Amino acid sequence: MKKKIYAAAETLIFFLLVFLLAFGDVFYSFDNMLRDRLYQTPRGINNKIKIIAIDDKTLESLGTFGTWSRQTYADLINVLGEYPAVTALDIMIFGEMDEAGDNALINACKEKGNVVAGSYINYSPAFVTDERGRQYIDYFHIDSVSEPIIADVSETGFVNAATDEDGILRSAFMSQSSPEINGGEVYKSFSSVIYSLYCERTGASEYVPKLDGNGRFWINYAGRPGDYEYISYIDVLNGNVDPRIFTDCIVLVGAYAAGMQDQYSVPASSSQMYGVEIHANILQGLMDEKSPVPAGRWYASIVSAAAAALIYFISRQYKLKVSTPVTFIGMMLLAAVFMLVNSMGTAYPVIYSLLFMVVGYLINLVRKYVYEALEKKRVTDAFRKYVAPQVVDEITSKGNYTIKLGGENRHIAVLFVDIRGFTPMSESLEPEQVVDILNSYLNLTTNAIFKNGGTLDKFIGDAAMAVFNAPFDLDDYVFRAVKTALDIVNGGNEIESKFLEKYGKSVSFGVGVNCGNAVVGNIGCNFRMDYTAIGDTVNTAARLESNAKRGQVLISEYVYEQVKDRVEVEPIGEIPLKGKSKGVFCIFFKEYYR
């Protein structure tokens, strides 16, 4: 129950953290870059939008832009005739030049009735008071509006572009107004005017896009720089292009040469886009009814935090084989949903959900790694109490820390050791003194077993059991077992005088060693098990130990046959075994030779 409460509390904290970061839009710039990649994918160009480009070829023919007579624009409008639904001049036609050219352009626009020209809003930052009486700086405060000379005979719309802080053009205004200018007159954008006139002249229903709090919508770019096919201005002017190809189209006339300084950075592209192409993309977004606006801050933050918290909870509660694919699939699915919702008109922030899905997954991955490392240490520390260090190293090197029930039949050497005279001695000593003596002798026993590569199977009161050649193969294990037995006895003799002087008591060891086949493994139940050996070989070793006198090591005849060329012994004779008609021949082991 506590684990579930902790998991729920952690998940809630993670949710609140992501919510606050998303609501504060802390990673605004990074989110823009990610949304550019996710949302801004080319979807095909609308052939009803045509671009007549003032390109390098045109400039070579007509000379430096801005020095032309406006008769040139009038001639283009006359060549196009009434074939286009709308002819839009993305050109600054401000102030008078030559009277004849100016009049020719005015008359051409008046005659055709399908021309839209660009105006320009002049902004200046100003302190503004809202309806609640709060003051703020309005960076889009309209100071004045520059109108083209054909404003009286054509439609006009402002061509101002509002880039984001990173210099990328992602959104567009539909209209703007200012109480100080012409009594609060509403000024429509260039693209908005073109679109309205196009719908009026073709009979198409006019789509009204959603707008954000600043009166803007996001530009859903249908194409990247250069995707829209363009026709050179000079080719149309010279009659090299049949004007019927522009029938019922929107014709955009604008700069298409680098020197004209009408280029902008756009999403999902390293190349800049000409202003006339941007208007083409805005118009296609309106025609395709794809003009998303950002989701509400509260709602978007909740969605982002909920998605991240869900992955955090799953990755915390489930193993990697579950949490890893769930996290990956969840991110892909959420990205697909975001793209679908964006195409339907609402743009959600991306980075807060996707990034913190990964962060939540990684936090719990590290947690599990640390837990596994601690578990490894716990198991390793536990094994070090029972087996030699080299055995522990082999266990950990194989990376298997799971203890399972089961066993195997192995040929092993078994050693039993017992402290002789310990029980009556303990009755005459204080408990602390008994523990002091016992710990010293058992410490000696353990060190001798580990020194020779054995496994400490268990302590049985003042006795101990060790096996050799388990759980892993051990070279020369029978000799290692008898060597351990003598090391224990000799070590006991060395510390016997210490306790005789300290407590007036002394103890010594009796040891028995046997070898043969035995069942070795983890024996017990799921919640309590011991790594041990069982069988006749073990019982015989125990019987040998029980018959050994103080300071004596008894080995079986079978053990002697394995090591007889390296030991000095003295035959004892046959000793009876409980439950068996035949006893075992035992040998008093005195010394070994290296």
pLDDT in tens, 486-507: 999 888 887 887 888 888 877 7
User: 48 near 362, Cβ under 8 Å?
Assistant: no
Closest Cα to residue 449, out of 407, 419, 471, 416? Answer: 416
Q: Which domain-ending residue is among 258, 287, 316?
A: 287
User: 233 near 87, Cβ under 8 Å?
Assistant: no
| Residue 449 located in a structural domain | yes
User: 285 near 220, Cβ under 8 Å?
Assistant: yes
Do 67 and 105 sit in the same domain of this protein? yes
**Cα 352 from Cα 349, distance rounded (Å):** 7
Give the model's confidence band at 233: pLDDT under 50 very low, under 70 low, under 90 confident, else very high. Answer: very high
Other beta carbons within 10 angstroms of residue 18's beta carbon come to: 26
Other beta carbons within 10 angstroms of residue 65's beta carbon come to: 14
Q: What is the 3-state secondary structure (H, E, C) of 236-280?
A: HHCCCCCHHHHCCCEEEEEECCHHHCCEEECCCCCCEEEHHHHHH
| Residue 216 located in a structural domain | yes
Give one DSSP letter per residue of 50-78, joined into a string. EEEEE-HHHHHHH-STTSS-THHHHHHHH
pLDDT digits (tens, 9 = 90+) for 148-183: 999 999 999 999 888 888 889 999 888 887 766 656
| Residue 112 located in a structural domain | yes
Cα-Cα-Cα-Cα torsion 432, 433, 438, 441, nearest 10 degrees, comes to 140
Domain residues for 580?
402-592
Return the CATH number at 510. Answer: 3.30.70.1230
Single-letter amino acid, residue 249: C
Q: Which domain-ending residue is among 287, 317, 345?
A: 287
Do 189 and 277 sit in the same domain of this protein? yes
Do 281 and 299 sit in the same domain of this protein? no
| Residue 232 located in a structural domain | yes
Closest Cα to residue 109, out of 140, 83, 73? Answer: 73
**Cα 109 from Cα 155, distance rounded (Å):** 10
Do 92 and 186 sit in the same domain of this protein? yes
Note the pLDDT of residue 59: 93
Note the pLDDT of residue 404: 46
Give me the sign of the Cα torsion angle 535, 536, 537, 543.
Answer: positive
| Residue 31 located in a structural domain | no
Do 298 and 283 sit in the same domain of this protein? no
Lowest-pLDDT range, 40-44, 81-85, 481-485?
Answer: 40-44
Closest Cα to residue 232, out of 435, 60, 380, 6? Answer: 60
- Residue 414's Cβ-count burial label (10 Å; 0-12, 13-18, 19+) is buried
| Residue 39 located in a structural domain | no
Do 429 and 502 sit in the same domain of this protein? yes
> Terminus-to-terminus CA distance in the chain, angstroms?
60
Task: Please state the φ and ψ torsions of residue 578, each to the nearest 5 degrees.
Answer: -60, 130
Give the model's confidence band at 200: pLDDT under 50 very low, under 70 low, under 90 confident, else very high. Answer: very high
pLDDT digits (tens, 9 = 90+) for 109-123: 999 989 999 999 888
Do 342 and 252 sit in the same domain of this protein? no
Closest Cα to residue 412, out of 513, 519, 515? Answer: 515
**Cα 396 from Cα 414, distance rounded (Å):** 24
Do 433 and 299 sit in the same domain of this protein? no
Helices (H) and strands (E) in the chain, counts: 17, 25
Phi-psi domain of 136 (left: phi exceeds 0; alpha: psi -120 through 50; beta: other): beta
Do 183 and 300 sit in the same domain of this protein? no
Token representation of residue 102: 């100016």
Token representation of residue 285: 């977004």
| Residue 36 located in a structural domain | no
User: 18 near 305, Cβ under 8 Å?
Assistant: yes
Mean pLDDT of the chain: 86
Looking at residue 428, the DSSP 8-state letter turns out to be T
Do 218 and 356 sit in the same domain of this protein? no
Do 152 and 257 sit in the same domain of this protein? yes
Report helix, strand or coil for 568: strand
Note the pLDDT of residue 388: 54
Angle at 124 between CA 121 and CA 126, to 5 degrees: 130
With 80 as the cut, is the pLDDT of residue 126 above it?
no
Note the pLDDT of residue 403: 47
Query: How large is the angle between the packed helices 297-317 and 351-384, nearest 10 degrees?
Result: 20
With 50 as the cut, is the pLDDT of residue 469 above it?
yes
Cα-Cα-Cα-Cα torsion 249, 250, 254, 256, nearest 10 degrees, comes to -60
| Residue 135 located in a structural domain | no
Specify the number of domains making up the chain: 3
pLDDT digits (tens, 9 = 90+) for 135-149: 777 777 788 888 999
Residue with tokens 């310990």: 422
User: 560 near 515, Cβ under 8 Å?
Assistant: no
Integer CA distances (angstroms), 62 to 75, 180, 235, 239, 414, in order: 13, 41, 12, 15, 106
Lowest-pLDDT range, 448-462, 538-552, 580-594?
Answer: 580-594
User: 148 near 117, Cβ under 8 Å?
Assistant: yes
Token representation of residue 256: 């298409």
Q: Which domain-ending residue is among 232, 267, 287?
A: 287
Note the pLDDT of residue 389: 59
Do 434 and 450 sit in the same domain of this protein? yes
